[in-house]
Structure 1
Amino acid sequence: MVFEHILYNVTTRVATITLNRPEKRNALNGAIVGELRKAFSEAESDPEVKVIILKGAGEAFCAGADLEYLQQLQRNTREENLADSKELMQLMQQIYYHNKIVIAQVEGHAIAGGCGLVTLCDLSYAVPEAKLGYTEVKIGFIPALVSVFLVRKIGEGRARELLLTGRLITAAKAETYGLLNEVVPADEIADHVAKVAAELCTGASANSLKVTKRLITAVFDQPIENALEQAAQLNAETREHTDCQRGINAFLAKEKMVW
């Protein structure tokens, strides 16, 4: 399968999905979300794939939403924003519930939606220089969809801190919060992640890994589908709010907002 915005390859039972817009800091838009969905579907249906590595080309892992995409949000109708939110929602569900192990290899900053992708992965490794955070509130938006997963991953207290402040944190702090599994030097991270992937491929049953993931996701009382539906509705509503429009305009103009 050929993609325009990502790279996809399979070697020794490991599928590597690379966000490949380095000139845009691998920012997300509708097209790249669609390609990611196709790539994760391809990996899920491929019996030769046991582990997936998600990474970014260039200096950033993913800088969040693309600037042109942010501009488009302000012109969308409520129905268009809801449809777009649900497309992202479906990608998040796809990664979270994927029947293969997904590893994030974070070799640069992971911000907003980019940090959301890291949140969804089963295992995450980052270089010391990487900064991570959910900055949506700083531009009048909300981290709606990712909040459903972040609370489950690191607990309510830490999630409140990160989501409400919009502050970027170091990779070392993200590790102490449980957002990352380990911080690995830049010259070692590729080999380290490859070793983890290889050990999963040879050291554990594919079915056991799949079922264990199901067990982990089943321990929470609130059905994730219900929470995501509500989050998608809030996502679409917030895009129409004047705060969001003002914040995006200021961000695009490189002006600092004072809320």
Structure 2
Amino acid sequence: MAFSFITYEVADRIAAITLNRPEKRNALNGAMVAELRNAFRQAGEDEAVKVIVLKGNGEAFCAGADLEYLQQLQQNNYDENLADSQELMQLFLEIYQLDKIVIAQVEGHAIAGGCGIMTVCDLSYAVPESLMGYTEVKIGFVPALVAVFLVRKIGEGRAREMLLTGKLITAQKAMDQGLITEVVPASAIAEHVHKVAVSLCTEAAANSLKVTKHLIGTVLDLPIKDGLGRAAELNAQTRGHEECKRGIAAFLNKEKIKW
């Protein structure tokens, strides 16, 4: 599949999806959102892909919505704006619910919608120079979609501070608040993310990653008794999976297994 605003490559079971509008600081528009949805769908359906890395080309990870795109939205009616908003909603949801692990490699700033995309990734690594935040309220907009995920990720109090003030925070503060996984020097981040992706490919069973991600994404929606009941069901189902049988056999035989 040919892309105009992103690049897509697969090597060693890792799909690299790169935002590729460096002259626009990788700002989002409708076409880029559509391409991202197609790329994540392609990676999700590719049996040769186990882990996905999302990154940006140039000085920014993603600067949010493109200015021309924002101007265009001013001409839309409610139904058109709703349909457009639902496209970004689907992208966030598809990343969050994808069966495969998604890692954000954040080199440069991640702002507004760009920070939203980073938020829904499973793991995220950022360089110390990165600033991130949700600036929508400063232009009379609302960080509606990401709020649903951010409250789950860092809690209501911290989410209120970020979403209501619209302030950008440092990568270090983002890590301290649980928004990102780790801060990594710019000289080492590409290698570090690659090592993490490789370790997930070789040291963890694909079904275990999928089931664990699903459980994390749904357990907060359930009362504790129902959540534990669902966890017990997944536990029992996983015990009968071929990968679990292989893994336990290797453990009992003191053999190293490579997934």
TM bucket normalised to smaller: 0.7 to 0.9
Please show how residues 65-84 of structure 1 align to structure 2 within 5 Å.
65-84=65-84
- Secondary structure in structure 2 of the residue aligned to 1:26: coil
1:159 equivalent in alignment to 2:159: yes
Query: Which structure has the larger Rg?
Result: 2
| Residue aligning to 1:86 | 86
Unmatched runs of 5 consecutive residues or more in structure 1: 223-259
Give the residue type in structure 2 aligned to 1:154.
I
TM-score normalized by the length of structure 2: 0.85
Q: Which amino acid aligns with 2:29?
A: N
Identity among equivalent positions (%) equals 73
- 1:217 maps to 217
Equivalent residue of 1:8, what SS? strand
Report the Cα offset of residue 218 of structure 1. 1.1
Residue 219 of structure 1 and its aligned partner are, at CA, apart by: 1.1
**For residue 36 of structure 1, what is the aligned residue in structure 2?**
36
- 1:183 counterpart residue number: 183
- Equivalent-residue separation in structure 1 for 2:74 and 2:172 (angstroms): 36
Query: What are the residue-to-residue correspondences of 1:90-109 with 2, within 5 Å?
Result: 90-109=90-109
- Counterpart CA distance in 2 for 1:145 and 1:218 is 17
Alpha-carbon distance in structure 1 between the residues aligned to 2:48 and 2:3: 20
Alignment of 1:194 with 2:194, yes or no, is yes
* Stretches (4+) displaced over 3 A: none
Q: C-alpha deviations, 1:194-229, integer Å up to 9, x for none?
A: 00000000000001000001100111227xxxxxxx
Give the Cα–Cα distance (whole angstroms) in 2 for the partners of residues 208 and 184 of structure 1.
Answer: 27
What is the rounded CA distance, in whole Å, between the counterparts of 1:4 and 1:221 in structure 2? 38
> TM-score scaled by structure 1?
0.85
Determine the C-alpha separation between the residues in 2 that align with 1:220 and 1:136: 27
**What CA distance in whole angstroms lies between the structure 1 residues aligned with 2:40 and 2:145?**
19
Matched, 1:111 2:111: yes
Report the alpha carbon displacement of residue 93 of structure 1 after superposing the two structures with TM: 0.6
- Indicate whether 1:25 and 2:15 are aligned: no
Q: Residue in 1 aligned with 2:203?
A: 203
Corresponding residue for 1:253? none
* SS of structure 2 residue aligned to 1:218: helix
Once the two structures are TM-superposed, the CA of residue 73 in structure 1 deviates from its matched residue by 1.1
CA distance in 2: counterparts of 1:75 and 1:14, whole angstroms: 40
RCO (CA 8 Å, sep 6+): is it higher in 1 or 2? 1
